[in-house]
Every structure is written in structure tokens, then in C-alpha cells.
């Protein structure tokens, strides 16, 4: 067993990590990372949903050897936990996604990389070494952009593509609008930068990046335009790739796009769908041959008023009936909450904002701290609940508490 690392006495919980990050981030970054859609009620409920459940610990069991590992992408993960794909991590720390990748490699924890990262997928692969990683994908209307990204991911050993399916339109994020969010220099959206002068590398949100001197000399326009439908024909987005113009794709559908994606990714990479929240869509995912599901509501940043992911989880698990893995993200802030998600049927969880807080706090060291806190809390919870292997964690270990305080078995 690895030697116990010393505590950071200034930061003993993810809640404290969040407070440190508030001091480290500038206002634009803090608002961008932490905001939910509209009033933020779904963002809040993602976390509050875990407080509806209490753990039923079993005692007088030999818990002297606890195994926290689980299957993942044909191998074993040391924890049922990965780092969720989050965009533009250089906003949190100059080392950005590379620092996150190095921390994940040291912990053996899988990393998800956003398409809209500030570090190329090749550089993240180099920083990851042999540690597993997945690519989050927005399937653009002009598929050649996505095809190129998929080919690069296959060439550099990514295990899976996680197709984001909950962004046919973008949710309303009021602070992002008020702050007129732009990616500050010298950072760029690295995976779409054809060269150092490319407007695509600097265009982030609304496609209205300022022209570089080189662009002006060459007469290039750095304005992107969203796709439009005139009632008869759809015109796809135009200009350099930007999040607001190219990431939302209202044309996505099960019948056409999942089949295309599987043909592009297989056999090197698995195809998962991220953003499932109902049993009906879970059944469609199984029917169309995806390799796994992530129950997600985009961190509460899309449809405000949607179910918290933990509340949506049981319906999805019941629909899938074990045919494919079911993962979950959103709202997890403590190791006991990982336990609760697994008890409700998730096979694995993904951690988003807490990793960004750790990255902002101390770069790679801060990400490692975040992962260590959650690992230690989860391991302690397993032992105190009377479990020694992840498959033992089931709904038998939970009760639900209603608003009146009444407790019911699941």
C-alpha cells in the first residue's frame, strides 16, 4: 500500500477546496465555471439530491482489506470515479488540462477531455502516458470537423468518445451573458487551431473574436455564424469553430448520427452518450448499440428545472437492466455521495467542478488533492458501511428521507 500522504491542513474537504478556488479565480472564470442555467435550481438540486438518502451501515464484518477497484474500458480502475470533461481549464491554472492529466496519471484515474479544451488532445495524451482517457465530443453539423477530431483521438489512444447529447440548443447562462465572456490571451481552443494565427483558436463563445494582425493583412474574417433554417432548408454554421455557433446541433438524431459515430470510432474507441436522463432514451441508447450511458444534465447548465441526475438515475438503471454500463455526473462533493450513487445503481461517477477548484488552488497538486480527498472519503465510507468490494454496494445500504423526516427502505 502506498504511504499515506500528509494532509493539507488548509484544505481538508471539497467544500474548503471550493472556498480556496473562489479566492484564486478571477470573477469571469469563477462565474463561468460555477454558474448553472437560469436561476440555477437544477445546479443546486444536483447536490441537494444526495441529502435525501442516508446510509444503513452493517457491522461486525471483516473490513481489513477494502478493494475500491471496478471494471472500466476492459481494464480495472482503482476507483469507481473519473475526472469529467470540462472546458478551457487554462482559465483555472496556466498548466490547464496537462496538469489535470498528470494528476490523473499519478492516481490512476481516468480523465475526460473536452473538445473545447485549451490543450490539444495530443498534449493531453502525452501527459497521460498509459493512463486511460476519453474524448468528449460535440458532433458538429459539418461532420468533417468531428471526423478529424475522432481520427486524432484514435491515433493517440483515447479509449472512448463521450457524445454530448443534451445540447441541441444552449441553456441560458445569465452571468456568461452579463460578463460578455471571452477566452483571454494567450489561451486558445487548442483542438481547432490550424495554426497560431487561426481565428478559430481564439473564437470561443459568440464567434466575434478580434482579428489578428495576420488576419487583417490576409483579409480573413474571424466572425462565425450559427446554423439557420429558413423553413425549407437548413444552413449549417459557418466560419471559425466557436462554442456558441458550432457546439449546439439541433439536427442530431438517433437513427442517423449514432450509426455514423459508431462507424467512425470502432473498433478502436467505444461510443458513449452523455446527457441521458430518462428511461425511454436509455432504451434507445441500448437499441442503437452504444457502449455506455452517462446520466447527466450538463452540470445544471442546460435545461433548468430538469431532474437532478441522482433523481434520474434509478429510472435509467431500471431501463438498461445491466445491458450496458450506466455512469453519472453532477453534484458529487464527498466520498459518501459516490457510495450513494453506486448504491442507486450507477457503475461509476464523474467529478467536474471540484477538479477545477483543485486545479485553481494548486495546479496539478490541487487536482491530486481533490482526488485524494474523494478517494479517502469513499474508502472510509465503504468500510464503515460494512462493504469491502464495490459490487457489494447496493440499495440495501440506503434509506430515503422525505420532507417530513420519515424514513423508508428502498
Q: Catalytic positions, please?
A: 298
Distance CA 382, CA 384 (A): 6
Distance of alpha carbon 56 from the chain centroid = 29
* Torsion of Cα atoms, 186 then 192 then 198 then 203, to 10°: -60
Handedness of CA 129, 73, 119, 373 (dihedral sign): negative
Helix (H) or strand (E) holding 15: helix 14-24
CA distance between the termini of the chain: 36
- The number of angstroms, rounded, from the C-alpha of 107 to the middle of its chain's C-alpha atoms is 18
At residue 82's C-alpha, the angle toward residues 79 and 86, to 5°, is 165
| Three-class SS state of 190 | helix
CA-based torsion, 295, 299, 304, 309: positive or negative? positive
User: Do residues 344 and 314 touch, judged by C-beta distance below 8 A?
Assistant: yes
Q: Can you tell me whether residue 136 is helix, strand or coil? A: strand
Which of 375, 396, 374 lies closest to 385, judged by CA?
396
Region of 296 please: left (phi>0), alpha (psi -120 to 50) or beta. Answer: beta
Strand, coil or helix: what is 400? strand
CA–CA gap between residue 272 and residue 262 (Å, rounded):
10
In angstroms, the CA 25 to CA 220 distance is: 34
d(CA 130, CA 152) in angstroms, rounded, equals 17
Amino acid at each position: 500500500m502506498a504511504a499515506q500522504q500528509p494532509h493539507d491542513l488548509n484544505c481538508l474537504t471539497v467544500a474548503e477546496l471550493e472556498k480556496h478556488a473562489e479566492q484564486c479565480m478571477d470573477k469571469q472564470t469563477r462565474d463561468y465555471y460555477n454558474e448553472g442555467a437560469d436561476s440555477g435550481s437544477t445546479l443546486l438540486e444536483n447536490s441537494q439530491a444526495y441529502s435525501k438518502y442516508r446510509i444503513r451501515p452493517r457491522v461486525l464484518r471483516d473490513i481489513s482489506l477494502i478493494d475500491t477497484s471496478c471494471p472500466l474500458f476492459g481494464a480495472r480502475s482503482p476507483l469507481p470515479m473519473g475526472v469529467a470533461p470540462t472546458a478551457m481549464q487554462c482559465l483555472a491554472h496556466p498548466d490547464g488540462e496537462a496538469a489535470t492529466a498528470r494528476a490523473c496519471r499519478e492516481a490512476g484515474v481516468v480523465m475526460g477531455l473536452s473538445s473545447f479544451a485549451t490543450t490539444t488532445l495530443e498534449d493531453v495524451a502525452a501527459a497521460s502516458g498509459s493512463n486511460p482517457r476519453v474524448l468528449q465530443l460535440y458532433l458538429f453539423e459539418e461532420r468533417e470537423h468531428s471526423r478529424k477530431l475522432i481520427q486524432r483521438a484514435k491515433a493517440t489512444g483515447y479509449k472512448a468518445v463521450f457524445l454530448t447529447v443534451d445540447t441541441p440548443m444552449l441553456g441560458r447562462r445569465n452571468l456568461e451573458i452579463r460578463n460578455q465572456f471571452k477566452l483571454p490571451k494567450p489561451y486558445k481552443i487548442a483542438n481547432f487551431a490550424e495554426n497560431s494565427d487561426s481565428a478559430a483558436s481564439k473564437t470561443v463563445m459568440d464567434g466575434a473574436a478580434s482579428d489578428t494582425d495576420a488576419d487583417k493583412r490576409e483579409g480573413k474574417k474571424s466572425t462565425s455564424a450559427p446554423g439557420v433554417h429558413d423553413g425549407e432548408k437548413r444552413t449549417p454554421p459557418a466560419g471559425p469553430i466557436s462554442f456558441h455557433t458550432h457546439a449546439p446541433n439541433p439536427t442530431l438524431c438517433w437513427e442517423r448520427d449514432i450509426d455514423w459515430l459508431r462507424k467512425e470510432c470502432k473498433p478502436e474507441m467505444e461510443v458513449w452518450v452523455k446527457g441521458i436522463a430518462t428511461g425511454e432514451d436509455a432504451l434507445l441508447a441500448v437499441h442503437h448499440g452504444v457502449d455506455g450511458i452517462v446520466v447527466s444534465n450538463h452540470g445544471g447548465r442546460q435545461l433548468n428545472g430538469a431532474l437532478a441526475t441522482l433523481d434520474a438515475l434509478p429510472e435509467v438503471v431500471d431501463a438498461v437492466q445491466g445491458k450496458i454500463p450506466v455512469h453519472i455526473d453532477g453534484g458529487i462533493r464527498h466520498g459518501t455521495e459516490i457510495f450513494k450513487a453506486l448504491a442507486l445503481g450507477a457503475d461509476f461517477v464523474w467529478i467536474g467542478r471540484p477538479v477545477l477548484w483543485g486545479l485553481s488552488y494548486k495546479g496539478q497538486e490541487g487536482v491530486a488533492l481533490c482526488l485524494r480527498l474523494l478517494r479517502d472519503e469513499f474508502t472510509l465510507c465503504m468500510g464503515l458501511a460494512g462493504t469491502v468490494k464495490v459490487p457489494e454496494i447496493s440499495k440495501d445500504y440506503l434509506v430515503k428521507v422525505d420532507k417530513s423526516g420519515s424514513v423508508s427502505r428502498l
